[in-house]
Structure 1
Amino acid sequence: MQAHLAAQDDDMWYAITDGPMKILKINKAVATTEGAPHMVEKHRSEWTAEDKKKTNLDNVEKDILYKTLDKNMFAKIKTCTTAKEIWEKLTQLCEGNDQTKENKLTVVIQKFDNAKMKSGETLAEFDERFSSIIIQLTSLGKDYSNREIALKVMRAFPREWDLKTIAMRESKDLNKLELDDLFANLKAYEFELGI
């Protein structure tokens, strides 16, 4: 049952990424080349119940996408004829072209480079703000190592945190220190400082 659902999920994603499914069969009139059979499209009268489900996946996907859009977004994609076209149009509208993505990445890298804990900001607030920057970077294809992230966070704190951050640099393997674990460790110190 799980294998069937996984295959169905793969087929649904295929309908989004590659377009409507073509139902194929082996063309027995043509010899196979290098072990690969020659495929031709099945006539509609030859479709099995499973084939019919697969050909309807594009309609199912379009319906799902339509239901998730507000009127404004729907107006922008209503001329698209396949789920793939809708997905590509939405991607373009939401993410922009390559130049837009590059500009967004530059801005988020600058946010990362300039991240500092603000005066009066709690650790939880800084954690939320910094984690948001990391999520943005990841979504734009930029990944930093655990070590780079940990060092950046430790450099972002005011002077009263120096004792803790120096001790952490010496005692922890920063290559294995996840961001959540880093902030959890620092929250105990924030409590000690009485911030």
Structure 2
Amino acid sequence: MGTSNKPPKLLWMEDYPNWANKFETYMQAVNYDAWEAVEFEYIIQKNENGTCHNLSQIPDDDKATFMREKKMMNLFKQSIKSEIFQLLQHNGSCYSIWEALMNKDRGNADMRKSKMNLIKKEFDIFTMFKGETMPQMIERYCHLVNEMKRLGINKEYFEYIDKLADALPNDQNTLY
């Protein structure tokens, strides 16, 4: 969850959408300057040997940006489980880490297309299961709609209502 002293922790990639919202809110509230490292890519300057400059070698006008990048990197390392962090493909900047997390959550183009097709089919055949209670069905329906929106599948408002109404059984005794 995170506290006022610690950012929320990403323990499983499946939690990424919720974690990302919490993490962004936390960062914007606690240290907006560091959050800017995620929004604007910073390329750490290297010296003639190809190694990173130490703080004393960085030009004065670049020190604030460098420090912001380092603060954000520290917060990422605190927030993201090391097994997840190691699997990310990034160039070392906070911006690229954030992008890598989003891409890992979305998957590649083929995987996204398959997920979208599966969710669309699930929506098309959605109905109340035998023995399922109304709250259970509504919870399952809300989860389906949220997943559709997360994947960028948008329907007209009336389509959502029609699907939910069509999912109800004809025999009203089964609703209780």
TM-score category by the smaller chain? 0.5 to 0.7
Change (3 A) 1:18 1:135: same
Structure 1 gaps, min length 5: 23-42, 162-189
Counterpart position of 1:44:
59
Alpha-carbon distance change, 73 to 152 in structure 1, aligned in 2, over 3 angstroms:
same
| 1:1-195 mapped onto 2 (5 Å cutoff) | 9=32, 12-20=34-42, 44-45=59-60, 47=61, 52-77=63-88, 80-161=91-172, 195=176
Shift of 1:93: 2.0
Contact 1:112/1:133, CA 8 A, preserved across alignment: yes
Q: Report the residue type matching 2:166 in the other structure.
A: R
- The answer to whether the 8 Å contact 2:134/2:175 transfers is no
CA distance in 1, matches of 2:124, 2:89: 41
- By how many angstroms is 1:70 displaced? 1.6
Q: d(CA) in 2 for partners of 1:97 and 1:129? A: 26
> 1:77–1:89: 8 Å Cα contact kept in structure 2?
yes
For normalisation by structure 2, the TM-score amounts to: 0.64
Stretches of 4+ moved more than 6 A in 1? none
Gap change, CA 1:85 and 1:95, over 3 Å in 2: same
Q: Which amino acid aligns with 1:61?
A: M
User: TM-score, normalised on structure 1?
Assistant: 0.59
Query: Which one has a bigger Cα radius of gyration?
Result: 1
Q: Where does structure 2 lack aligned partners over 5 or more consecutive residues?
A: 1-27, 45-57
Q: C-alpha displacement at 1:21, in angstroms?
A: 8.1
- 1:91-147 deviations in Å (ceiling 9; x for gaps): 222211222111111111111111100111111101110101111110111112221
Pair 1:139–1:12, CA change in 2 (3 A):
farther
Asked if the contact 2:88–2:97 (Cα under 8 Å) also holds between the matched residues in 1, the reply is yes
For 2:158 and 2:89, locate their aligned partners in 1 and report how far apart those are by CA, in whole Å. 46
Identity %: 21
1:120 partner amino acid: G
User: Distance in 2 between the 1:132 and 1:112 partners?
Assistant: 11
